[in-house]
Structures are given as C-alpha cells and as structure tokens.
Amino acid sequence: MNCLRRKPNPDVQANGQDFVTALRSGILHRNRMWVELFMTRSDTPYQFVSLFSGCGGFDLGLVDAGFVPVQAYDSCADAICHYQRNVCSKAVQADLTEFMPQIDRTPDIVIAGPPCQGFSTAGKRDLADERNHLLPLAGRIAAHINPRVIVIENVTAAASGAHLKYWKEMEEHLRSKDYRTHTLKANAADIGLSQTRRRLLLFAWRTARDIDFQIHAKPSRRLDVTLSGVEKLPNHDPEPLAVDSRDYRIACRIGPGQKLSNVRGGSRSIHTWNIPEVFGKTTAAECQMLEFIMRVRRQERRRTFGDADPVSVARLKKQFKEQTTPLIQALLHKGYLRRVGTDLDLCHSFNGKYRRFQWDDKACTVDTRFGEAQLFLHPNEHRPFTVREAARIQGFPDDYVFDCTKRTAFRLIGNAVPPPMGRMVAGFARELLGR
C-alpha cells in the first residue's frame, strides 16, 4: 500500500460499515486508501500515468473515482514533494524534455497538464515561448507510453489564433498513432465549483468505443458555501492588510462584486479618481474628461488590435472646447493621463485589480496570484485569500497539506486542474474504457 496513503475515514471505522455499503453510500469516495483496498480485493482498478503532474490536482480527481496512479512526473521539486505526501509516493522529479518515461506495465490512461503560460491570455501569449512545445511533447510521450486513453488539459487560448498550431500538432500526432480524438470545453463553474475556469480537455482513445461527451451541468456553488468552516483548518492564516497602507485604503473603497478599473464603466468599476485619498484630488470637470476618455477609447477604435485606442486632442477639443488644454495639462500633471505619441490615454489602464468577490456568487479563475490583495480581495475582509481558501475554491480536499511557503502553495494550487474536473474526466475515461 505505497500509494494513496491517506488515513482511513474515522466515520467508517467507528460505525463498522462494511466496504461495499460504505463505498455505495459515498463515504469512501473521500477515502482513497479504502477505495484502493476494496478495488484490489474485488476488481482491477484502472491505472494511470501522470505527465506534468504538478502537485496532483488532476490526479486526485481520478483517484477519487477509484483509479490508481502508477507513476507521476514533474520537473518541480515542490510539486513532487506535495504529490508524494498527498497523492502517491510514486512521483519522480524529471525534466520531460530530456527524459522518456519507461513504464513496466502499460497503464490504461495517461493524463497530462503541460504548462499554459505561453498560451494564456493572462500572460504575454508569446508564440515563440519555449514552453509551448511542451503541449505537443505531452502528446508524443503519452503516445509512446501507449495507453488506451489519453487526456491532455490546457487553457482554451491554447487552441486559438496562431497558437492553434501547437494544439494541432499534438492532435495530429495522436491521430497518426490511431487514436480517435475529441476536444471538450469545460468550465469549473458548470461542475459545481465556485469559480469560472474554462479549460480544454483533449481526449484521445483507442478503444473502439465512441461516447457522448456531455457534461451534466450542476449550478456553481456560492462562495459562502464553499468557504464555510475554513477557519478551523490548516493553511488558513489570514493576513489583514495593514491599516492605512495604500492597499488598505484602496480596499476600503471596493465593495463586494467591484474592482479597481479605469477602463470599464458601470457600478462594478471603481476608478482611481474615485479614491482621491490615494490617487490625488480631481475637479468635477477633470472627472468628466477622464470618464469621457474611458468611453471613447473603446467606442471609437482605429487600430485593428487591442480593445482600446488612445484619444486624439482634436476629439477632446470637440467635446471640451476651450477647457481642453488646461484640463489636459492638469490631468497630465496629476498623473491621471499620459501621452501616447500625439494622443492621450488614461494612466492605470489595467482592467481590474483589487477584485472583491461576493459571497452569493463565484470567484474568477484561481490562478497562481490568488494570494495577492492587489488582484483579489476577500468578500468582506480587507485581506487577500488564504491558501486554504484558494484550495477550497479549486476543489482540493481539506486534508491536502501544503507544507511550503505561501507563494509556492498558491503556485501549486493555481496551476492545478481542479480535482472535481479530474473526477469528471475519470467518468468519461471509464466510459471509453468500457466500464
């Protein structure tokens, strides 16, 4: 029993239920060790190999569904330690660009979660990012291992624009090896989680079966339900913002469901000029010019890229007449406007910092920066989220231990496939495999 080393569920031990009854009642789904015990006695569980395993978010979903990990690979030492401690001892630190896994017994499934940084719209989307090649590499290694089912996960932007070539290369390689393929779009919010997280899952199979890749949608869970009871758990160590710090003063002005944004209108956006105690005072006329630029920069587009353009002085003169020059001078001086060539644009033109989520709604994608108050705020406290809160929103079980710096924990959690999405994948894989 070197894999799945969680403690047996005390509820099951205490009331002495037998394995079958407990498994059917669902109690044992939370207890991977007992599931494996049961499966090895009466059935042969499906086995899987995990490439780019990270800390095992994807894998935990398969384990919850009764699948057994036989080997996992990742280049990051922290990810491997966490995998070994929380999922299975059979995890190896390896750079998969230099190492071809040799597996004694062909597994039923290979799962892979290669890096998404070069594809993600949250980053630079550099077409030449070296990490983009890891996507087709995952397909080649998986095909070399030769399982009956392969599932490769990535962000939806991996299959859009010029980046699509990497996705196609991966898919074409798998098809050349006689796999049938299907790309499934999945959103964590549609499987009952409290976050919007849209992902692509490439299924490749060689089992002479076709299935209906239909996601049975469940409503997303409210954040207050998801985060209930976290106070008592490990890895929950709230860090309130220092009173009177810049972040605190901004946070005080951002209500539930709102964010700091100068480039979007509406009641959900608080602008820097609404927070004079931090960003400096403005007159009513200056505010009018800023709000006018905010609208026009998006509505009157001239370039074919981006989603907004700087505004010309001539356009401002049409609106503000003789007031234009003094207003521009004042706003340049106060740091609210900047020159872009001969045109003008807003300073702080990010779309959404200090996003404060609301209890009766879901969060946006939990990424590696989820612990930064400048990006995400707790619904009713002036602080960022804790590691345990991020893990809960991602669907990690409460007994998953993060024994590392907070920065590392947020990286492992933000990079992970939510375990419930892994569990959904396991359901499709089981159908493809025939039981």
Ligand X SMILES: C[S@@+](CC[C@H](N)C(=O)[O-])C[C@H]1O[C@@H](n2cnc3c(N)ncnc32)[C@H](O)[C@@H]1O
**Quick check: 74 binds ligand X (CB under 6 A)?**
yes
- Angle among Cα 369, 375, 380 to the nearest 5 degrees reads 115
Which residue in 95, 212, 237, 244 binds ligand X (CB under 6 A)?
A: 95
State the sign of the Cα–Cα–Cα–Cα dihedral 266, 267, 268, 273: positive
**Quick check: 345 binds ligand X (CB under 6 A)?**
no
Which residue in 34, 46, 58, 357 binds ligand X (CB under 6 A)?
A: 58
Selection from 161, 63, 139 nearest residue 420 by Cα: 63
- Which tokens hold the place of 419? 């375990």
Selection from 239, 174, 176 nearest residue 204 by Cα: 174
**Quick check: 96 binds ligand X (CB under 6 A)?**
yes
Q: In this chain, which stretch among 271-279, 288-296, 372-380, 415-423 interacts with ligand X, using CB under 6 A? A: 415-423
Q: In this chain, which stretch among 52-60, 142-150, 328-336, 372-380 interacts with ligand X, using CB under 6 A? A: 52-60
- Which tokens hold the place of 93? 């630190």
Closer by beta carbon to ligand X, 9 or else 415: 415
Please tell me the distance from the alpha carbon of residue 41 to that of residue 63, in angstroms, as a whole number. 17
Which residue in 31, 53, 120, 132 binds ligand X (CB under 6 A)?
A: 53
C-alpha dihedral (1, 49, 198, 115), degrees to nearest 10: 120
Which residue in 66, 69, 107, 113 binds ligand X (CB under 6 A)?
A: 113
Per-residue burial over 288-325, b = 16 or more CB atoms within 10 Å of its CB, e = otherwise: ebbeebbebbeeeeeeeeeebbbbbeebbeeebeeebe
**Quick check: 308 binds ligand X (CB under 6 A)?**
no
As measured in angstroms, the least distance from the Cβ of 83 to ligand X is 8
| Interface of this chain with ligand X, residues 131 to 160, rule: CB under 6 A | 134
Which residue in 66, 69, 115, 139 binds ligand X (CB under 6 A)?
A: 115
**Quick check: 395 binds ligand X (CB under 6 A)?**
no
Closer by beta carbon to ligand X, 112 or else 316: 112
As measured in angstroms, the least distance from the Cβ of 299 to ligand X is 37
Residue 305 C-alpha from the chain's centroid: 26
Please tell me the distance from the alpha carbon of residue 347 to that of residue 104, in angstroms, as a whole number. 58
**Quick check: 54 binds ligand X (CB under 6 A)?**
yes
As measured in angstroms, the least distance from the Cβ of 365 to ligand X is 13
Selecting among 55, 76, 116, 404, the annotated active-site residue is 116
Closer by beta carbon to ligand X, 54 or else 118: 54
Selection from 48, 199, 187, 181 nearest residue 111 by Cα: 48
**Quick check: 97 binds ligand X (CB under 6 A)?**
yes
Closer by beta carbon to ligand X, 54 or else 136: 54
Closer by beta carbon to ligand X, 92 or else 252: 92
Please tell me the distance from the alpha carbon of residue 238 to that of residue 252, in angstroms, as a whole number. 17
Residue owning tokens 């370039």: 303
Please tell me the distance from the alpha carbon of residue 5 to that of residue 51, in angstroms, as a whole number. 21
**Quick check: 310 binds ligand X (CB under 6 A)?**
no
CA atoms in the 13 A half-sphere facing the CB of 189:
12
Q: Report DSSP letters for 1-29, one per residue.
A: --B--PPPPHHHHHHT--HHHHHHHTGGG
Radius of gyration of the chain measured on its C-alpha atoms: 25
Closer by beta carbon to ligand X, 277 or else 399: 399
Which residue in 4, 28, 79, 201 binds ligand X (CB under 6 A)?
A: 79
As measured in angstroms, the least distance from the Cβ of 39 to ligand X is 22
Closer by beta carbon to ligand X, 134 or else 254: 134
| Closest residue to ligand X using C-beta atoms | 113
**Quick check: 414 binds ligand X (CB under 6 A)?**
no
Site size toward ligand X, by CB under 6 A: 21
Closer by beta carbon to ligand X, 171 or else 367: 367
**Quick check: 212 binds ligand X (CB under 6 A)?**
no
116 is a catalytic site residue: yes
Number of Cβ atoms within 10 Å of the Cβ of 6: 18
Closer by beta carbon to ligand X, 75 or else 323: 75
Paired sense of beta strands 47-51 and 68-74, if any = parallel
**Quick check: 57 binds ligand X (CB under 6 A)?**
yes
Which residue in 23, 202, 241, 417 binds ligand X (CB under 6 A)?
A: 417
As measured in angstroms, the least distance from the Cβ of 353 to ligand X is 24
Residue owning tokens 């750079």: 95
C-alpha dihedral (58, 64, 68, 70), degrees to nearest 10: 30
What residue ranges bind ligand X (CB under 6 A)?
52-58, 74-76, 79, 95-97, 113, 115-116, 134, 415-417
- Hey, which residues are catalytic here? 116
